[in-house]
Every structure is written in C-alpha cells, then in structure tokens.
Amino acid sequence: MAARQHYGEKMNYLERTLMKMGTLVVQELEKSIEALKNQDVDLSQKIIDSDINVNEIETDINEQCLTLIAEEQPVARDLRVILNALKVSHGLERIGDNAVHIAKSTIKLSQEKYIKPLIDIPRMAEIAIGMLNDSLDALVNLDAEKAVEISKRDQLVDEIYSQVFRELITYMHEDPSKISQSMTFLFICRRLERVADQSTHICEGVVFVAKGESSELNP
Amino acid sequence: MEQKTGEKIKLQTKNMNLYYGNFHALKDVSIDIVQNKVTAFIGPSGCGKSSFLKSINRMNDLVDIARIEGTIFYDGIDVYKAYDVTELRKRIGMVFQKPNPFQMSVYDNIAYGPRVHGIKRKNALNEIVEKSLKAAALWEEVNDRLHESALGLSGGQQQRLCIARVLAVEPDVILMDEPTSALDPISTAKIEDLIYELKLEYTIVIVTHNMQQAGRISDTTAFFLLGEIIEVDATDKLFLNPKDKRTEDYITGRFG
C-alpha cells in the first residue's frame, strides 16, 4: 500500500470534481450555442436555471482545496494541483456565466428574425469550445506541450472576433434599426472570445502544474 | 572561498564517504553550506543525515569503526587534517534531539564551556551567562532561578538552555540534530523563531523530520536517501518544484 493513501484519494477526488465541473460547463456552452442557432427559449431557460449547479461545484472545490491545505500541508506538485484547481474552477465558473449570458441573449432575440444567418458565431464557438475541451484534456494528462499548442488557437478566435466586429459595425452603419440586434451579437462574440482566453489560462495552469513554471501563453 | 553570488561558503564537503565497518553510510557527499544561512537536511531515518552532521564536527571520531574518505572544509581548512578537535568543536557547536542539560544549575550549564576554555573571572562569566541566555530567548524566563537545577526547566526551556550553552563558547556554526522533535508546538515555535534570529550571526545546519519545519526556517534544503544527497536546492524551489521524483515522493509523503 502506498503511504498516505487517503491523502492520494482526496487529491484524486479533487481532480475528478474539477473535471466534472469542466464537462458540465462545456455542455452548457454547447447547448447555449445550439439554443442561439435554433432560437430555442426553453433550452435557454434550462441553461440559466442550471448555472447554480456550476456555482455549487465551484464552492465544493474551494472547500476541498481549503481542507487539503489545512489538513495535509501539501507541497510540490500536489500544492500546484490545488492552487491550480482554485484558479481553474473560478475560470470555469466565469465560462459558465458566459453560457448564461448567451442564453439570456437568445431569449431576448427570440421574437426577432436574425439580420443574417449565423455562420461566424458558431464557427468561433466551435473553436473556443474545442480549446476548452482540449485544455481540460491536457490538464488531466498534464501535457504541457499540448497545452502550448492549444493556446495558439486563441489567435484564430481573436481574428474571427475582429472580422465579425467590423461586419456588425457595417450593418449598424447601414441600418440603425439593426443596432440593437447587432450589439447583442457583438456581446455574444465578446463572450466567446473570453472563453478562448479562459481556456488559454487553463493551458497556462497545465504548464504550471506539470513543470512548476509560470508562463504567459497569451501575451 | 566565495561563490559567484558573493555568498561565503562556510562548510564544504567533497566526495565524502563514511563507513561504519563494512556499512557504507555516506556516499560521495559533496555540498556547500553557505555562511549565515540555515541549511536543512531531510530524509528518511537511517539515510545518513545525522552521520553527516557528526562528521562535520568530528563526533564520529568517537566511533571506533567509523572511517571517512574525502574532505570536509571549514572556512577552507580540512577539518580532519588541520584542526585540533577541541578547537573545532568550540567553533562548531551541536544541539541534540533530546535536551541534555548537565545535572547542575542553569548558571553552571552555561558557564561550563567558558570555564573549560579558561575563563575564570566571575564578572566575565556572569556576562557570558546573561548574554547567552538572552540570545537563546531564555533570560526572561530563568533569570530569577539561575542557581536552581536545570533539570527543573520544561523540555522547551531545557532545549533553549542547550542552545545557550552552545552560544556561550562563541561558536561560528551550530549543528542541530532534530532540535524540536521532543517539544510541543509552542516550544517548537520559540526555537524556530530563535533559529531565525541566530542565523544573522551564525551558520546553522539542521536535521529535521518535520518537512514543514524545513520549509519554514531553512534557506537551503538537502534531501538525503540511502547515504546520498539526491537533491539540494533553495528551500522554496525544493518544496514547490523538486527536480527528482524521489524528492517529490518523500516530501509529499508518498514514499514507501
């Protein structure tokens, strides 16, 4: 039997809880884009209602980390895992808020016909959610090299964001009646751009846990 | 002997090997111990930490079957070739795991060393006793019972008395072999605070089984395993990001 088995079990449980939170947030985000595309008010409301689950897991993770620090005096990689779990859970909670924001926008736009077919927003969402998913994978496997690779996709999300930004400004210039909806889409894009940034933060966390080095992957 | 950073190396061993009969207790130990820093040795029981400590001030001379190869330099001088053992142990004092006051008064415990080294004048001895007890953060607690038996002091006070006894002969280096393992948390905290103060004037080498203690008080930590130094680094680095898997397993307690 390995020494301090119960301690190892608590550390494993923390990591499992974090992954459960990650999976939940990815699902909520995917649903929010699905609901946006289909102008699905019911699904949007479900996303808003279930945000409390994400918040509860964050509280649970905070408590687990505090208990581990207080009772087990973690050092080395264990300590890095715990510090990182606090940061990542906070980041995931923010990403969950983004899903809620998108769901609220969908409800707001539910009675309007979209000014244009949604192409770039789902594309941006796909890349950002892909980054989130892969960064969580890299975290499970402590794959620092993969984390660095994933973070590079943030550039692409930023480019699409700028492009959509310009496009929507043009719409607003041409037809002031489209300003309200354009602004809503713009805010949605901003949220997705933040998801990519948050995913990059998770990648930085992977490097920190795996190598003990602080890095700035999105300078 | 200067390092690049301008830190002075107080003690240095080069490829030091220690044998007890056929048992190879220390294997090619090379380490620099920097002046006015606290260096902590950690590692499982029987890994050679205490043996290393005892080699530094030649306490292993007392063990018939002990044999040493390699060199130990103190201020650049080979302690096994160029030092008189009494002089060496005056310069390099030692504090042990269990407080071991002599069966005499508090005062005489402190005055013992200076007397052996030839100080007889009452005033001079009084001064040394007061100064040493103050430096060991014990003066306030014992100044009204200097002439009572030291055995009446609490465990924590006895240990600080032993530190004061070391300080009385004006050493340069203090070796501490698990100095707080027999003490309660409050006495431990007092000794740790004391170590923090003492490093301004002395170089301290401490063996501890308490990893948090090493983390709290030392500047450098060395991890011993089976007679070898596996890793030595700045304490914050060693505890946040150890390079060797064996160090990580040991400090996280997953060893074994």
Q: In what order do the strands lie in the sheet with B9-20?
A: B23-34, B9-20, B66-74, B77-78
* Chain B closest-CA separation from residue A4 CA (Å): 6
Whether residue B254 and residue A4 make contact (CB cut-off 8 A), yes or no, is yes
Minimal Cβ distance to B242: which of A7, A76, A211: A76
The answer to the question of residue B242 being in a domain is yes
Looking at CA atoms only, how far is residue A73 from chain B in angstroms?
A: 8
Whether residue B3 has pLDDT greater than 90: no
Structure tokens at B209: 């089984």
- Whether B212 sits inside 8 A of A73 (CB atoms) is yes
Q: B209 CB near a chain A CB, below 8 Å?
A: no
What interface predicted TM-score (ipTM) does this complex get?
0.73
On whether residue B132 sits in a domain, the answer given is no
In this complex, the residue of A2, A75, A78 whose CB is nearest that of residue B211 is A75
In 3D space, the residue among B112, B99, B119, B227 whose CA is nearest the CA of residue B161 turns out to be B99
Q: Is A217 a domain residue?
A: no
- pLDDT tens for each residue of A137-162: 999 999 999 999 999 999 999 999 99
Chain A residue at shortest CA distance from B246: A76
Q: Does A176 touch chain B (CB under 8 A)?
A: no
Question: What whole-number distance in Å separates Cα of residue A74 and Cα of residue A52?
Answer: 30
Per DSSP, the residues of A26-64 read HHHHHHHHHHHHHT-HHHHHHHHHHHHHHHHHHHHHHHH
Structural domain includes residue B50: yes
pLDDT of the residue at B142: 95
Our CA-based measurement puts residue A100 at a distance from the nearest CA of chain B, in whole angstroms, of 37
Return the residue of B nearest to A6 by Cα. B254
Cα A122 to Cα A91, A93, A95, A128, B134: the distances in Å are 22, 21, 16, 10, 73
Q: In chain A, what residues touch B211 (CB-CB under 8 Å)?
A: 73, 75
Closest CA to A138 of A80, A208, A68: A208
pLDDT of residue B1 exceeding 80, the answer is no
A215: which chain B residues are within 8 Å (Cβ-Cβ)?
Answer: none
Residues of chain A with pLDDT under 50: 1
pTM for this entry: 0.82
User: Quick one: which of B192, B151, B163, B161 has its CA closest to B94?
Assistant: B163
* DSSP state letter for A212: S
Q: In this structure, what CATH number is given to the domain that contains residue B47?
A: 3.40.50.300
A70 touches chain B (CB under 8 A): no
pLDDT at B153 over 60: yes
Strand partners, B176: B95, B206
pLDDT over 90 (residue B253): no
B240 interaction partners in chain A (CB closer than 8 Å): 75-76, 79-80, 212
Domain count, chain A: 1
Could you tell me if residue A107 is inside a domain? yes
Do the Cβ atoms of B242 and A79 come within 8 Å? no
Q: Are A47 and A121 in contact (CB under 8 A)?
A: no
Residue A216 lies in a domain: no
Chain A interface disruption, residue of B211, B231, B241, most A CBs within 10 A: B241
Domain that holds residue B217: 9-100+170-251
Q: Is A36 exposed, middle or buried (0-12, 13-18, 19+ CB in 10 A)?
A: buried
CA–CA min distance B232, chain A (Å): 15
- Contact (Cβ atoms closer than 8 angstroms) between residue B216 and residue B199: no
Q: What is the DSSP letter of A217?
A: S
Angle subtended at Cα A109 by Cα A21 and Cα A133, rounded to the nearest 5 degrees = 25
Report the range of poorest mean pLDDT among A131-140, A192-201, B1-10, B42-51: B1-10
Mean pLDDT of chain B: 92
**Is B133 within the bounds of a domain?**
no
Q: Structure tokens of B40?
A: 């902590």
* Residue B228 predicted with pLDDT over 50: yes
Please give the residue range of the domain that contains residue A9: 5-211
Residue contact A8–B254, C-beta within 8 A: yes
Instruction: Give the count of domains, chain B.
Output: 1
H or E segment to which residue A4 belongs: none
Query: pLDDT tens-digit profile of B186-214?
Result: 888 989 999 999 999 999 999 999 889 99
pLDDT at B8 over 90: yes
Q: How many residues does chain B have?
A: 256
Cβ A219 vs Cβ A148: under 8 Å: no
DSSP secondary structure string for all residues of chain B: -B-TTSPBEEEEEEEEEEEETTEEEEEEEEEEEETT-EEEEE-STTSSHHHHHHHHTTGGGGSTTEEEEEEEEETTEETTTS--HHHHHHHEEEE-SS----SSBHHHHHHHHHHHTT---HHHHHHHHHHHHHHTT-HHHHTT-TTSBGGGS-HHHHHHHHHHHHHHT--SEEEEESTTTTS-HHHHHHHHHHHHHHTTTSEEEEE-S-HHHHHHH-SEEEEEETTEEEEEEEHHHHHHS-SSHHHHHHHTT---
Which pLDDT band, with edges at 50, 70 and 90, does B62 fall under?
A: confident
Above 70 in pLDDT, residue B256? no
Q: Is B185 on the interface with A (CB under 8 A)?
A: no
Report the pLDDT value the prediction gives residue A1, as an integer from 0 to 100.
44
Range in A51-55, B23-27, B60-64 the model is least confident about: B60-64
Q: CB pairs below 8 Å between A and B: how many? A: 41
- Give the residue from chain B lying closest to A9, CA to CA: B254
- Domain assignment present for B17: yes
Q: Is residue A219 part of a domain?
A: no
CB contacts, 8 Å: B241 with chain A: 76-77, 80, 211-213
The whole-angstrom separation of Cα B177 and Cα B98 is 9
User: Is residue A128 a part of any domain in this protein?
Assistant: yes
Position B152 in a domain: no
Q: Examine residue B188 and state whether it is found in any structural domain, yes or no.
A: yes
B252 with A75: Cβ contact below 8 A: yes
* Beta carbons of B241 and A7 less than 8 Å apart: no
Q: CB A76 to CB B241 under 8 A?
A: yes
Give the tens place of pLDDT for each residue, B77-110.
999 887 888 889 999 999 998 899 999 999 999 9
pLDDT of residue B5: 65
Nearest Cα neighbor of A128 from A218, A35, A202, A194 is A194
Q: Domain for residue B198, yes or no?
A: yes
In this structure, is residue A218 part of a structural domain?
Answer: no
